[in-house]
Amino acid sequence: MNIAVIGSGGREHALGYKLSASKSVNKLYFIPGNGGTANLGENLNISPDTFAGILSVVKEKNINLVVIGPEQPLVNGLTDYLEDNGIHVFGPRKNAAIIEGEKSFAKNFMKEFAIPTAAFRVFKNNEKVKCLTYLEEISYPVVIKADGLAAGKGVIICETFENAKSAILDFFENDKFGDAGKKVVIEEFLEGPEVSVFAVTDGEDYLLLPPSQDHKRIYDIDEGPNTGGMGAYAPASFVSGEMLRRIDNEIIFPTISSMNKIGRKFKGVLFFGLMITKEGPKVIEYNCRFGDPETQAILPLIEGDFAGLLYSAALSKLDKSLVAFKQNKFSVTVVAASEGYPNAYEKGKEISGLDFKFPDNIYLFHAGTKENGVGKIITNGGRVLSITAVSNSLKSAKSEAYKYLGKINFDGIYYRTDIADKGLKDT
């Protein structure tokens, strides 16, 4: 079959890599893709926001399945548009993607169905005085989140009332997050290790992928502002089999079944951002798509017909037997970013080392890259690329990831040096 992957990041390159390994796949297309995806298929220079253009090329290229990577097209209703025109899609419809698109919906949903999460309050920008009064009365630290999509950066941990007041002014008066910040969710601060769990689902049945841990902050030891993610590792060793069963029983199953119950059947991959607290697992956030960079760490641990798995979910006939997970293997993904990210950064830096012949257990995934018209790959984003290493231990996977990332260079390259250290403390 022919498959189109929507998106241009490292997640989409990783999805393309895993899809290309399925014997059932004839041709891959990327809309719009990046400098690395062109080696797996054909990049099509169409914006993910141009629904009619996507439909036109899907029909022209006889594409059998569309896999949507980023959250914005899902929240905007791309799945609805394509499915209503007879196209099979892996990704939720708009009324289910709301679980990420509106944090206030997600929090109220969890409250209604007794799914464990942090205590919360919701305020709109016309309730500034009421919001600030509330913030004066509570204990700290506290977490303030933009209600809408903010590229993974709309979360602020406030240690004092003054911090919180400044954050609220950024949301409500300075339009730091645009429309996404016109409503905020203020949450109780939770403590414990974070874990990402992905459920590939047809809306009723589901398959859990190996749990992973992301590293959101830009600097080592989790300092500095939040980013889209600077690295990840899998599986997360602190999530025991017993804990995963508890997560399944208390969070995964109730979420998927309750979404179905309220007429918002979720078909695609549901990403559970969790924290393992002293009271047990709690939901930090839902996402309506594969995570980035967790996808780059998890997919190399999967064997079998991944394309068939996603296609079966799109057809509402999930076939979990199509894939298996590599046993006693660990993966570490390290992201290389442009100097200045997540704030202002320069583009157009030539990347060297891409022609190095990496061993079979090393995976190079492009993100913010493009071809410059004369055969050179240059930087084109904040998170430029990542290296994933798979090995027999987490320690050796980390060592190999950094060893081979050292083969890559561009002016202003930056990466954290402590990816997976949290996992190594647990082993």
The count of structural domains within the chain is 3
What would the mean pLDDT of 86-96 be, rounded to a whole number?
98
Question: What is the pLDDT confidence band of residue 292, given thresholds at 50, 70 and 90?
Answer: very high
The domain spanning residue 255 has which CATH number? 3.30.470.20
Q: What is the pLDDT of residue 259?
A: 98
Q: Is 69 a residue whose pLDDT tops 90?
A: yes
Q: Is 200 a residue whose pLDDT tops 70?
A: yes
Question: What is the pLDDT confidence band of residue 154, given thresholds at 50, 70 and 90?
Answer: confident
Q: What is the pLDDT of residue 90?
A: 98
What would the mean pLDDT of 259-267 be, rounded to a whole number?
98
71-80, 94-103, 176-185: least confidently modelled range: 176-185
Question: What is the pLDDT confidence band of residue 135, given thresholds at 50, 70 and 90?
Answer: very high
Q: Is 206 a residue whose pLDDT tops 80?
A: yes
Q: Is 426 a residue whose pLDDT tops 70?
A: no
Q: Is 309 a residue whose pLDDT tops 80?
A: yes
86-95, 145-154, 181-190, 380-389: least confidently modelled range: 145-154
Question: Is 19 in the same domain as 161?
Answer: no
Q: DSSP 3-state assignment of 107?
A: helix
Q: Establish if 105 belongs to a structural domain.
A: no
Q: What is the DSSP letter of 251?
A: I
What would the mean pLDDT of 181-190 be, rounded to a whole number?
94
Q: Establish if 104 belongs to a structural domain.
A: no
β pairing state of 231-234 and 330-338: antiparallel
Question: Is 174 in the same domain as 212?
Answer: no
Q: Establish if 103 belongs to a structural domain.
A: no
Q: Establish if 112 belongs to a structural domain.
A: no
| Residue 338 vs residues 103, 325, 343, 359: alpha-carbon distances, Å | 29, 33, 10, 25
- Mark which of 161, 188, 215 sits at the end of a domain: 188
Q: Is 317 a residue whose pLDDT tops 70?
A: yes
What would the mean pLDDT of 206-221 be, rounded to a whole number?
96
Question: Is 42 in the same domain as 76?
Answer: yes
Question: Is 200 in the same domain as 317?
Answer: yes
Question: Is 277 in the same domain as 399?
Answer: yes
Q: What is the pLDDT of residue 152?
A: 66
The domain spanning residue 179 has which CATH number? 3.30.1490.20
The domain spanning residue 13 has which CATH number? 3.40.50.20
Question: Is 401 in the same domain as 342?
Answer: yes
Q: Is 91 a residue whose pLDDT tops 90?
A: yes
The range of the structural domain enclosing residue 362 comes to: 194-425
Bridge partners, residue 91, by sequence: none
Question: Is 154 in the same domain as 56?
Answer: no
Q: What is the pLDDT of residue 425?
A: 82
Q: What is the pLDDT of residue 226?
A: 86
Q: Is 151 a residue whose pLDDT tops 80?
A: no
Question: Is 147 in the same domain as 231?
Answer: no
Question: Is 146 in the same domain as 70?
Answer: no
pTM (predicted TM-score): 0.95
Q: Is 326 a residue whose pLDDT tops 80?
A: yes
Q: What is the pLDDT of residue 312?
A: 98
What would the mean pLDDT of 294-302 be, rounded to a whole number?
98
First-to-last C-alpha distance (Å) of the chain: 42
Residue 2: φ, ψ to 5°: -100, 135
Q: Establish if 113 belongs to a structural domain.
A: no
Tell me the C-alpha distance between 47 and 27, whole Å. 20
Q: Establish if 114 belongs to a structural domain.
A: no
Question: Is 81 in the same domain as 208?
Answer: no
Q: What is the pLDDT of residue 167?
A: 93
- Mark which of 41, 58, 93 sits at the end of a domain: 93
Question: Is 141 in the same domain as 268?
Answer: no
Name residues whose C-beta falls within 8 Å of residue 398's C-beta, 6 or more positions apart in sequence. Answer: 233, 332, 389, 419, 420, 421, 424
Q: Is 427 a residue whose pLDDT tops 80?
A: no
76-90 pLDDT, tens digit each: 999 999 999 999 999
- Mark which of 154, 188, 222 sits at the end of a domain: 188
Percent with pLDDT over 70 in the chain: 99
Q: Is 176 a residue whose pLDDT tops 90?
A: no
Q: Of all helices (H) and strands (E), which one includes residue 15?
A: helix 10-20
Q: Establish if 102 belongs to a structural domain.
A: no
Chain-wide mean pLDDT for the chain? 96
Q: Establish if 28 belongs to a structural domain.
A: yes
Question: What is the pLDDT confidence band of residue 235, given thresholds at 50, 70 and 90?
Answer: very high
Q: What is the pLDDT of residue 116?
A: 98
Question: Is 210 in the same domain as 163?
Answer: no
Question: What is the pLDDT confidence band of residue 353, given thresholds at 50, 70 and 90?
Answer: very high
Name the nearest CA neighbour of 292 among 214, 234, 223, 399.
214
